[in-house]
Amino acid sequence: MTPPAERPTAQQNLVALSEWIDAGNAHRDPEAQLWGRVAKIAEEHGEAVAALVGMTGQNPRKGVTHGRDEVIEELLDVAITALGAVEHLTGHRGDAFARLERKLGEVAQRARAAHG
């Protein structure tokens, strides 16, 4: 087992994954690469919705087909895909999580202001 100090951080894993995706699409036009990265978020979103439909049994023909953990996993795929697109757009600088933290702070501040 790799000692904790030697394991890649979440940000390092995200950058490596994003670079790997870009390398696999290097033959594509840069605009097509960007469209592919952003469109993939919608695909992952659709999988999250499908898992939610399966969890709640909304399709009477299929019934309950998914559990809460499967919905959570799909939502995490959405988040990873979105953060990977941020890394792509920033040239893999490794600051997607810092940007997310800043954005969370801004949204939380607006929420606090709205609720006085």
pLDDT 10s digits, 52-87: 999 999 999 999 999 999 999 999 999 999 999 999
CB 14 within 8 A of CB 97: yes
Does some domain include residue 43? yes
Asked whether residue 4 carries a pLDDT value surpassing 90, the answer given is no
Does some domain include residue 5? no
Does some domain include residue 34? yes
Average pLDDT, the chain: 96
Q: Please give the tally of structural domains in the chain.
A: 1
The pLDDT of residue 5 is 76
Does some domain include residue 36? yes
| Distance separating alpha carbons of residues 22 and 10, to the nearest angstrom | 18
Q: What range defines the domain where residue 101 resides?
A: 10-18+30-114
The pLDDT of residue 65 is 97
Residue type, 20: W
